[in-house]
Amino acid sequence: MQEQAREAVSHFELEGVTGEPRPFGSGHINDTFLVEGEKRCVLQRMNRTIFSSPGEVMENIVGVTEFLKKKIAANGGDVMRETLTVIPTREGKSFYQDTQGECWRMYYLIEGALSYDRVERDEDFYESALAFGNFQQLLADYPAETLHETIPGFHDTKARYEVFLKAVEEDVCGRAKNAEKEIEFFRSRKEVACVLGDMLKAGKLPLRVTHNDTKLNNIMIDEETRKGICVIDLDTVMPGLTAHDFGDAIRFGASTGEEDEQDLSKVSCDLELFRIYTQGFLEGCRGNLTDLEIAMLPMGAKVMTYENGIRFLTDYLKGDVYFKIHREGHNLDRCRTQMKLVADMEEKWEQLEEIVRELSGI
Ligand code: ADP
Ligand code: GN1
Ligand code: MG
């Protein structure tokens, strides 16, 4: 891939590149490289199994980043650091397709900022919540109808549950026997898959322009000011639910263990981190959430953890075709941490609801 990465770089409107593209970051989806030069950049080979229409993904990203740049400028912010900048190809396109059909894109590196795979400082988690809440507010008047659905039914948990059942039934790799308890765990809670989708269908929850992948490592924290300076990984910006954005951030960042921790005694939902994120997120949303949206925040955490659990399990059963894995059984390990978190949230349910009530005043 190295050779192709180097070749791809030469097609972008960029001077003074030095050295080789180097693997970078820890995302599960795209192949990311750091490119050194006069201005450091990030090169990504987009995952074309997952994103079947890369042109549509890039149209969304160009639209959203240009929109954000106008708002950032109007607020006196730094347009080069507070959102991504798509570097065009020499032909003026937003991505380059190589002879093998692989699609490559480039952004300027957000300098002086880091993304974290776990919460190292509580304040960082609070700042990430402010930034994701603010991101949603900045996009509140984005023309949602112009956004392509880059992954159909991305957070349609009910549809994902059906896909999971089918994977169990087909059992193409003969792995279901290794995951009987896990399969039963999600089956016995199948109502979780419908709660938010049903409320949306009934018109009780508003559809907003959301990020849909609010993992802590999808935000850049400024090394000096420690502010959540830039929201990245914009592949799945689409209409969605506030509870999904809140919930995904909680399932990843408020866990006391890593997403793939094998020692489950280390994994639980930290109430203090839950409180800190809730506070930051509500502040970032600046009072623009409905009471029901706020009341559904704990449910968002549970649903997103359940959803990721069945996604990891489905991928394990299908032979690890979606998420990148780095060891045997990696997706099963990830599935187990999500189960542990769902069970822990169930135990702490009253407390999660109480924290939200207390901080929001609903
Ligand atoms: P994936 O979809 O695979 O998660 P991301 O777009 O999130 O891909 O990129 C993976 C990682 O690369 C991020 O978590 C972040 O650490 C780093 N990264 C991506 N884009 C930038 C950027 N413009 N500036 C700095 N770091 C970046
Ligand atoms: C993927 O792209 P990344 O690594 O930030 C996935 C998310 C999952 C997450 C689990 C497009 O996020 O939906 O919640 O892994 N992104 C996509 O860690 O499927
Ligand atoms: Mg990412």
Residue 81 sits in a domain whose CATH number is 3.30.200.20
Which residues have C-beta atoms less than 6 Å from ligand 1?
24-25, 27-30, 32, 42, 84, 107, 109-110, 115, 217-218, 220, 232-233, 235
> Would residue 34 count as lying in a domain?
yes
Please tell me the distance between residue 315's alpha carbon and the centre of ligand 2 in angstroms. Answer: 13
> Would residue 117 count as lying in a domain?
no
> Would residue 102 count as lying in a domain?
yes
Residues of the chain with pLDDT under 50: none
Instruction: Please provide the DSSP assignment of 34-100 as one string.
Output: EEEESS-EEEEE--TTT-S-HHHHHHHHHHHHHHHHHHHHHTT--TTTSS--EEPBTTS-SSEE-TT
> Would residue 116 count as lying in a domain?
no
Please tell me the distance between residue 346's alpha carbon and the centre of ligand 1 in angstroms. Answer: 32
Query: Looking at the structure, do residues 187 and 50 belong to the same domain, yes or no?
Result: no
Ligand 2 and 235: CB distance under 6 A? yes
CA angle 359, 202, 157 (to 5 degrees): 75
At 234 the pLDDT is: 98
Do residues 225 and 217 touch, judged by C-beta distance below 8 A? no
Query: Looking at the structure, do residues 311 and 190 belong to the same domain, yes or no?
Result: yes
- CA 257/CA 175 separation, integer angstroms: 25
Query: Looking at the structure, do residues 210 and 141 belong to the same domain, yes or no?
Result: yes
DSSP state of 266: G
- The DSSP bridge partners found for residue 219 are 231
Residue 62 region by backbone torsions, left for phi larger than 0, else alpha for psi between -120 and 50, else beta: alpha
Look up the CATH number of the domain holding residue 348: 3.90.1200.10
Query: Looking at the structure, do residues 50 and 94 belong to the same domain, yes or no?
Result: yes
> Would residue 275 count as lying in a domain?
yes
- CA 298/CA 274 separation, integer angstroms: 9
> Would residue 174 count as lying in a domain?
yes
Rg (CA), the chain: 20
At 114 the pLDDT is: 97
End position of a domain, from candidates 111, 143, 170: 111
Query: Looking at the structure, do residues 184 and 62 belong to the same domain, yes or no?
Result: no
Q: Which residue range forms the structural domain that includes residue 75?
A: 2-111
At 1 the pLDDT is: 82
Ligand 2 and 93: CB distance under 6 A? no
- CA 99/CA 6 separation, integer angstroms: 14
Give the predicted TM-score (pTM) of the model.
0.97
**Exposure of 226 by Cβ count < 10 A (0-12 exposed, 13-18 middle, 19+ buried)?**
middle
Query: Looking at the structure, do residues 128 and 248 belong to the same domain, yes or no?
Result: yes
Burial 146-161 (b: 16+ CB within 10 A, else e): ebbebbeebbbbbebb
Residue 160's nearest CA partner among 344, 330, 318 is 318
Query: Looking at the structure, do residues 331 and 221 belong to the same domain, yes or no?
Result: yes
Residue 178 region by backbone torsions, left for phi larger than 0, else alpha for psi between -120 and 50, else beta: alpha
Query: Looking at the structure, do residues 152 and 187 belong to the same domain, yes or no?
Result: yes
Please tell me the distance between residue 41's alpha carbon and the centre of ligand 1 in angstroms. Answer: 11
Domain count, the chain: 2
At 2 the pLDDT is: 86
Query: Looking at the structure, do residues 80 and 199 belong to the same domain, yes or no?
Result: no
Residue 335's nearest CA partner among 160, 217, 174 is 160
At 115 the pLDDT is: 97
End position of a domain, from candidates 49, 83, 111: 111
Query: Looking at the structure, do residues 239 and 142 belong to the same domain, yes or no?
Result: yes
Query: Looking at the structure, do residues 70 and 127 belong to the same domain, yes or no?
Result: no
At 19 the pLDDT is: 86
- CA 8/CA 101 separation, integer angstroms: 12
> Would residue 314 count as lying in a domain?
yes
Query: Looking at the structure, do residues 249 and 219 belong to the same domain, yes or no?
Result: yes
